[in-house]
């Protein structure tokens, strides 16, 4: 928006709003927001006078996590691989035997489970 800043500088700027970074990296916006709120990725946050918060994340960091996220498994996939119920998968998550990315999801959001911890739990 600022015309005094050169176009190459604007294009090379890697700090973007969470939703824009999610689009560019292919990571789900809900997961990226949870990771930002849980401080799993570095963020910058500004609180306006109205109370609204603007959060930006580093696109390079998000792209590094994108490869990791593509390997992650949902609770359904984990249950199918282990041959147990989703309820049991949730119990394993709460016990700390399985590791997840993005912290505990809210209703309607997915669990993202690390397959490395899945292999440790299977043995």
- Rounded CA separation 36/38 (Å): 5
- Asked if pLDDT for residue 121 goes beyond 90, the answer is no
Q: How confident is the model at residue 6 (pLDDT cuts 50, 70, 90)?
A: confident
**What is the average per-residue pLDDT within 32-39?**
86
- Return d(Cα 25, Cα 46) in angstroms, integer: 23
The predicted model scores a pTM of: 0.71
Q: What integer best gives the mean pLDDT of the chain?
A: 86
Band of residue 1 on the pLDDT scale cut at 50, 70, 90:
low
List, for residues 47-106, the tens digit of each pLDDT value.
Answer: 889 998 888 898 888 888 888 888 889 999 999 988 899 999 999 998 988 988 888 888
């Amino acid at each position: 928006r600022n015309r005094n800043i050169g176009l190459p500088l604007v294009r090379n700027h890697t700090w973007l709003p969470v939703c824009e970074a999610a689009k560019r990296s292919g990571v789900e916006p809900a997961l990226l927001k949870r990771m930002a709120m849980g401080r799993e990725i570095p963020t910058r946050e500004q609180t306006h006078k109205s109370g609204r918060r603007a959060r930006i994340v580093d696109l390079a960091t998000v792209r590094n996590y994108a490869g990791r996220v593509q390997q992650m498994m949902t609770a359904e996939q984990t249950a199918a691989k282990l041959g147990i119920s989703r309820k049991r998968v949730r119990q394993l998550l709460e016990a700390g035997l399985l590791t997840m990315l993005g912290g505990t999801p809210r209703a309607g959001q997915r669990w993202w489970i690390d397959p490395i911890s899945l292999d440790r739990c299977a043995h």
